[in-house]
Amino acid sequence: MSYSVIAPLYDRINGDQYAPYAAFLKEVFSRISRIPVKEVLDLGCGTGSIAALLADDYDMVALDVSPDMLSIAMEKNAGKNTLLLCQDMRNFELYGTVQGVYSSFDCLNYLKTEDLGKVFSLVHNYLEPGGVFVFDVNTRYRLEQVYGENAFTYEYEEGLLLWRNEQGEDCCHFILDWFELQEDGSYERLSETQTEYIHDGDTLIRLADENGFEVAEVLSSADLQQHGQGEKAFYVLIRK
């Protein structure tokens, strides 16, 4: 999937969350990792905004499967200490190990459950013992009740994004239509469909245990304070 429709709009939708998320990761790396964190892997880096914020403090490796996302990430990380890779997180390869790994903004929801085990296994291979793996997921409640069959509209000067949702079996389909304003006053329509899969807590904890991790924290927000699960769940795992 190229994410060609959402890539140019991604920062506008999520931009106000980047700095708090980066601060959360720094605190996790400092407080919870059992080893010093110097090298960090960003799985599903999107536009590379969080990687750019962390690059002043860590040696960053950031990968994403979408060339459209990576083209923006290259601009944001120009001159930064960030290695960008166009790879699928289900079969990625690195040149060495890292001490911290994170996957932000529900990237893991885009994977089916059978693919999550592959990701956890690869992270275990490249993460040093005592290092941390941090990720967030949209919970069942959010995908079924908040998104559900609802629709959302985002209006910008250069166009309009219509975001419609359809429920599937343990998944939610995002139907995205971008209407881009042209010079003659007409609109060009671009469309794509994305799917997020529901991953319940028991499944994630089981996969963590099977792949050599212990669960340090399960949070409902990126501040190390609120535990449990709400619309999102943040997991902090330690590599055994």
Instruction: Please report, for the chain, how many H helices and E strands are present, in that order.
Output: 7, 11
Domains of the chain: total: 2
pLDDT tens per residue, range 10-63: 878 787 889 999 999 999 999 999 999 999 999 999 999 999 999 999 999 999
Distances from the Cα of 75 to the Cα of 40, 54, 68, 78, 84, angstroms: 20, 15, 12, 5, 11
Residue 159 and residue 55 share a domain: no
| 86/62 same-domain check | yes
pLDDT one-digit tens code per residue, 153-174: 999 888 999 999 999 999 999 9
What is the rounded end-to-end Cα distance, in angstroms, of the chain? 33
Q: Is residue 115 part of a domain?
A: yes
Closest CA to 107 of 86, 133, 136: 136
Same-domain pairing of 230 and 125: yes
Query: Same structural domain for residues 154 and 136?
Result: no
**What is the predicted pLDDT for the residue at 2?**
57
Q: Is 58 left (phi over 0), alpha (psi -120 to 50) or beta?
A: beta
Q: Is 132 a residue whose pLDDT tops 90? A: yes
Range of the domain at 126: 7-140+198-239
